Each structure stands twice: as structure tokens, then as C-alpha cells.
Chain A
Amino acid sequence: MTTKRMAIIATKGTLDMAYPPFILASTAAALGYEVQVFFTFYGLQLLRKDLSSVMISPLANPAMPMPIPMPVMVQMLPGMESMATMMMKQKLKKHGVASLQELRDLCLEADVKFIACQMTVDLFEFDKSEFIDQCEYGGAAMFMGFAGDTDICLFI
């Protein structure tokens, strides 16, 4: 049996959108898939050594369940983003959902390959020392080399 392969393009850097790529990558790896995740644009935030700046915003996120109905005017007040992030993290913990850090570590342990978009690093003038050492830097063509021969390819 040939090894199945999965490729994911992670483009979002918010707490809620950080979960799907890490959950799917770690699970596929556990099922024996060879997995690569290409982090581009805001997705690059998920490769930071320190993930504490990954947040969730109730603003422009009408599908987010809130404990009490909250008008947009209130959602935009200073500190609301930090509060929503704190509440979301507490909720995740309470329900036994792994932290982003834990899921990312599990991905790395299972040999999921992380590719950071070099163009995005240059565009936002990011300092590579702020990113984890276990990622490789590359471009679209490099990713296609892998993605072109996969069983599953997702854009998140």
C-alpha cells in the first residue's frame, strides 16, 4: 500500500482558524498520511514560537456564540478581543480540546512538515528568529511539488 498524502494551505492567523489545519494535520499523520502544511499570509502567525498573540475577535464574526447578545458597538471597545480570547481558551480547556501549542507539537512529533511562505516573511518584514526552527522556507512552486501528488489538498 502506498502512503497517502495530504497538503494543507493555512492562510488564517486567528485562534478559531488555527485549529482546523493543526487538527487535520495531526490526525492525518496519526492515520499514516504524509502531511505538509504551507503557511502563507496570516497563517504564518501560527509558526511563531510564542502563540499567545493568536487571538479571536467577536468583531465581524457574527457566527461566534456569545454568552449574551452583544452589539457591534460594544464588540469594538478596547479589550474585547483579549476578553473573547481568554473566554474561548477557557472554554477549549474545559471541554478537553488541546491547546494550539499541544496540537502543533503533536504535528511535529508525527513528522508533519511545515513550510513557511518566504514571500510573506519578506512582505511583512518578519524576523525569522521569531518562528519555530522546525519549519522550512519556500514558495508556491516548492509546495506544488508536494501538493500535485496528494490525495487530499485543503485551503484553510
Chain B
Amino acid sequence: MNFDKEFDASGLSCPLPILKTKKALADMASGQVLKLIATDCGAVKDMQAFSDQTGNPLLSSTEEGGKYIFFMKKK
């Protein structure tokens, strides 16, 4: 998937992946896509919850070799 910005939150625990996602989205333009990598398994549900509550669509959420990859579009 194409993305405009990538942030690696590997090794960070709750709530840092969410807080860093929020910060990463802040300087992006509407419609741009953020790729987030995390190793915290709690991030799977947290990213969905973040998307639901902030209205930034979560385009995909997958796991690859112990890493969780998310693509989020800025609303």
C-alpha cells in the first residue's frame, strides 16, 4: 500500500503508539496515509479504537513476523 509517512513504534508500550500516531498525523494533510509499525499487541485494538473515536479511517491492520502494521488515512 502506498503511504506518505512512516512511523516505527516498535518496542513502545501503551499508550505511546497511540500518542505517537496522533503526533505523526498532526502535520499531515487530509487524505494522506500514515504507516505505523508496532510490536505492542495491545495496539491492534487500540488503533481500531483510535480510528473509531477520531474518525481517521484505519485502512488496514496486519501482522507480519511479530510486528503489527497499520495504515491510517488522515481524515
A interface residue numbers (CB < 8 A to B): 23, 26-27, 30-32, 95-98, 106, 110
Contacts and interface: CB of A to CB of B under 8 A. Distances in A.
Nearest to A24: B15
Interface residues of B, number: 15
Query: Closest 4 A-B residue pairs measured CB to CB?
Result: A30-B22, A96-B13, A27-B15, A96-B11
14 contacts: A23-B15, A26-B15, A26-B19, A27-B19, A30-B15, A30-B22, A31-B50, A32-B53, A96-B11, A96-B16, A97-B16, A98-B16, A106-B19, A110-B22
A95 B14 CA distance: 10
Interface of B: 11-16, 18-19, 21-22, 39-40, 50, 53-54
A94 to B, nearest CB: 10
A30 B22 CA distance: 6
Contacts of B11: 96
A30 B50 contact: yes
B19 A96 contact: no
Contacts of B53: 31-32
B54 A32 contact: yes
A30 B39 CA distance: 20
Contacts of A98: 12-13, 15-16
